C-alpha cells in the first residue's frame, strides 16, 4: 500500500465519509488486505470507497503502510478467493472483493455458496480466468540460455493477460530450482539466482535471445510427439493459443506438420508394425509433463499429447469412470486391444475382470478403472504384438500421472491389481502373496484405503486345473472390496 487514505473515523453528523484507497500497480494483495481490514474496522461500507492505483509506479519495492492491528476473520471460501482474483486486470476487482467481504460479514456469511449471485458468479469467473492464465504461463513459457560474465543464465519473455507474475513465479522456482533464471514481462521481472526470488522492473522481448541450443531440442521433441492421425487444428489452437507461439520454438514446425498430416496418416496406416526403439525419458519430455493441471480433463489432455516412453503405442489409454467413484482399480498397462481402442480393460483380462466384478456385485460402470502405465509396450512376433511387462523405471516415469489422477478422482478405496500396480502405488516391490488383502498405501497419506489382489491376466495364464480355485479366490477378494467400499461410502 502506498500513499493512501489512512481512514480517520468519519465525524458525527457527516454521514458516510468517502475514502480513496490507492494500491500499487499490478496485484497488490498485501495492500488490499490491509486496506480491507482498516475499512471493516472503521465500518466503511463498499459504496463509500473509491479504489485506485498509484500513478507513480512504486511497483516492486514501494514502502508499505503500517499493517492494521485488527485481524479480519473471513469465511474460509472468501479468504481463499481473494488471492485468486487480485491479479485480474479488471479495474473493478478490488471494489468487487471488498463488496464480497462486506456482505459476508454483514448477514451473508454463506454468500459464496450462492453461485447464482451476480457478484459471486463474476468473481468466480475472474478467478477461473486467473487459473487459465497461470496454466498458460506454466505450460508455454520457454527459457533461452544466455552465457554472460556471471556464467550460464536462462531468460524467458512472457506476456500474461493478467497481473500474475508474482503468483506464477514460485512454480518456476520449484521446477527450475537449480538454474539461475529471469522471467521478463511487460510489467515486471522475476529473478531467481538459485537461492532468492526477487522482482524488478519490466523487460522487453528484445532482451531475450531469439534462439539457443535448447531450441532445436524443443522443436525435435514437438515433431516426434506430433501425431498426424489425431490432429485437430481447432482444439490445438484452443489449447495453445496462437499468441503464445512466438515464444515457443517448437511451434515453428506446426504449419508444415499440419500440411503433411494427411499424407503421414496414410503412411502410418499402410506401414507394418515395427519393433519400437527404446530410449530414456528426454529432458524435454519431463519438462512437458511437469505441468499443473487443475482438472482430470486437463491432466488427460497432457497424457494424450505425451509421447510414450517406449515408442510404438497407438495412443495413451486413459482411466475410465467418474470423478468421485468409491472404488478405483489400478491395473498394469494397456494391452493390444486397449491400445487400439483407447479404453482400459476391454481385452481378455478386462473381460474376465468385468465378469468377476459382476459376480461380486461391483458395478463396473460406477467404478474407476485405470493403469499404472498409460501406453502399451510390446515385442513383435510375426505380426502379433506381444505384451511386455513395464520396467520399474517405466512405472516410476508414469507415477506422476497416476498420483494426480487419483487426486482428482478421490476414490475411497484403491485396488491394486497385481505387482505393477503395487509398485506404482507404493514405490516398492511387494509380493502379492504376502500383501494380498487390505493394505495401507502410505505414499498417499491416507487419502484413500487400499486393497491388493492379483491381476486378472494372472488367472488367464494359470494351468486349467488351477484356474477355478484361483478365480473363486479373486471373486472373494472382490466381494470384500465391495463390502469395504460400501462401508466407506456410507
Q: What angle do CA 6, 7, 9 make, to 5 degrees?
A: 145
Interface with ligand URA (CB under 6 A), residue from 349, 395, 402, 459: 349
The residue number with the shortest CB distance to ligand URA is 331
- Toward ligand URA, which CB reaches closer, 276 or 390? 390
d(CA 347, CA 433): 25
Stretch that binds ligand URA, among 247-255, 330-338, 398-406, 425-433 (CB under 6 A): 330-338
Interface with ligand URA (CB under 6 A), residue from 212, 215, 338, 405: 338
Least CB distance from residue 349 to ligand URA, whole Å? Answer: 4
Stretch that binds ligand URA, among 56-64, 132-140, 166-174, 331-339 (CB under 6 A): 331-339
Count of positions on this chain that bind ligand URA (CB under 6 A): 13
Residue 344 found at the interface with ligand URA (CB under 6 A): yes
d(CA 17, CA 10): 6
Q: Which set of grid coordinates corresponds to residue 251?
A: 511451434
Stretch that binds ligand URA, among 12-20, 94-102, 160-168, 338-346 (CB under 6 A): 338-346
The residue behind cell 472404488 is 327
Residue 331 found at the interface with ligand URA (CB under 6 A): yes
> Segment 366-385, which members bind ligand URA (CB under 6 A)?
371
C-alpha distances out from residue 186 to 56, 134, 160, 162, 335, Å: 17, 16, 9, 11, 49
Residue pair 141/158 in contact (Cβ under 8 Å)? The answer is yes
Least CB distance from residue 354 to ligand URA, whole Å? Answer: 11
> Segment 254-293, which members bind ligand URA (CB under 6 A)?
none
Interface with ligand URA (CB under 6 A), residue from 2, 188, 350, 411: 350
Render the burial of 66-96: b for 16+ CB within 10 Å, e for the rest. eebeeebebbeebeebbebbbbbbeeebbbb
d(CA 297, CA 271): 32
C-alpha distances out from residue 242 to 136, 161, 235, 373, Å: 12, 14, 12, 32
Residue 149, class by beta-carbon neighbours within 10 Å (0-12 exposed, 13-18 middle, 19+ buried)?
Answer: exposed
Residue 326 found at the interface with ligand URA (CB under 6 A): no
Residue 345 found at the interface with ligand URA (CB under 6 A): yes
- Toward ligand URA, which CB reaches closer, 104 or 333? 333
Residue 332 found at the interface with ligand URA (CB under 6 A): yes
Strands (E), 68-194: 144-148, 151-157, 181-184, 189-192
Residue 308 found at the interface with ligand URA (CB under 6 A): no
Site residues (vs ligand URA, CB under 6 A): 331-335, 338, 344-345, 347, 349-350, 371, 457
Amino acid at each position: 500500500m502506498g500513499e493512501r487514505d489512512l481512514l480517520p473515523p468519519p465525524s458525527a453528523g457527516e454521514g458516510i465519509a468517502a475514502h480513496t484507497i490507492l494500491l500499487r500497480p499490478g496485484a497488490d494483495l498485501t495492500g488490499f488486505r490491509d486496506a480491507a481490514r482498516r475499512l471493516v474496522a472503521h465500518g466503511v461500507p463498499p459504496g463509500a470507497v473509491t479504489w485506485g492505483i498509484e500513478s507513480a509506479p512504486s511497483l516492486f519495492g514501494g514502502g508499505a503502510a503500517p499493517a492494521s492491528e485488527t485481524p479480519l476473520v473471513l469465511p474460509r471460501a472468501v479468504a481463499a478467493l481473494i488471492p485468486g482474483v487480485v491479479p485480474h486486470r479488471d479495474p473493478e476487482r478490488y471494489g468487487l472483493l471488498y463488496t464480497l467481504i462486506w456482505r459476508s460479514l454483514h448477514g451473508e456469511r454463506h454468500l459464496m455458496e450462492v453461485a447464482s449471485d451476480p457478484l459471486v458468479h463474476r468473481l468466480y469467473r475472474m478467478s477461473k480466468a486467473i487459473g487459465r492464465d497461470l496454466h498458460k504461463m506454466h505450460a508455454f513459457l520457454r527459457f533461452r540460455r544466455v552465457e554472460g560474465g556471471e556464467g550460464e543464465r536462462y531468460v524467458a519473455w512472457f506476456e500474461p493477460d493478467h497481473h500474475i507474475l508474482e503468483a506464477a513465479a514460485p512454480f518456476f522456482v520449484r521446477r527450475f530450482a537449480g538454474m539461475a533464471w529471469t522471467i521478463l514481462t511487460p510489467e515486471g521481472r522475476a529473478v531467481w539466482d538459485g537461492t532468492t526470488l526477487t522482482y524488478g522492473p519490466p523487460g522487453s522481448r528484445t532482451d531475450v535471445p531469439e534462439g539457443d541450443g535448447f531450441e532445436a531440442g524443443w522443436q525435435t521433441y514437438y515433431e516426434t510427439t506430433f501425431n498426424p492421425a489425431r490432429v485437430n487444428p481447432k482444439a490445438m489452437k484452443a489449447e495453445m493459443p496462437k499468441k503464445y507461439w512466438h515464444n515457443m520454438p517448437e511451434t515453428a514446425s506446426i504449419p508444415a506438420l499440419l500440411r503433411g498430416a494427411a499424407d503421414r496418416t496414410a503412411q502410418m496406416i499402410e506401414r507394418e508394425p515395427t519393433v519400437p526403439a527404446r530410449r530414456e525419458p528426454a529432458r524435454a519430455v519431463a519438462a512437458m509433463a511437469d505441468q499443473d493441471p487443475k482438472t482430470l480433463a486437463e491432466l488427460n489432455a497432457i497424457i494424450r499429447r505425451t509421447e510414450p516412453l517406449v515408442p510404438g503405442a497407438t495412443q495413451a489409454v486413459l482411466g475410465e469412470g467418474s470423478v468421485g467413484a468409491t472404488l478405483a482399480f489400478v491395473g498394469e498397462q494397456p494391452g493390444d486391444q486397449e491400445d487400439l481402442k483407447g479404453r482400459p480393460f476391454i481385452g481378455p483380462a478386462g473381460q474376465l475382470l468385468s465378469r468377476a466384478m459382476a459376480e461380486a456385485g461391483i458395478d463396473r460402470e460406477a467404478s474407476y478403472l485405470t493403469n499404472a502405465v498409460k501406453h502399451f509396450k510390446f515385442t513383435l512376433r510375426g505380426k502379433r504384438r506381444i505384451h511386455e511387462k513395464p520396467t520399474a523405471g517405466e512405472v516410476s516415469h508414469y507415477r506422476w500421472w497416476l498420483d494426480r489422477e487419483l487426486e482428482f478422482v478421490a476414490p475411497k478405496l484403491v485396488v491394486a491389481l497385481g505387482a505393477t500396480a503395487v509398485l506404482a502405488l507404493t514405490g516398492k516391490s511387494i509380493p502379492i502373496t504376502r500383501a494380498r488383502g487390505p493394505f495401507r498405501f502410505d505414499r498417499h497419506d491416507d487419502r484413500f484405503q487400499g486393497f491388493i489382489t492379483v491381476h486378472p491376466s494372472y488367472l488367464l495364464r494359470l494351468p486349467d486345473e488351477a484356474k477355478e480355485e484361483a478365480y473363486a479366490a479373486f471373486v472373494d477378494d472382490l466381494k470384500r472390496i465391495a463390502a469395504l467400499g460400501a462401508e466407506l461410502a456410507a
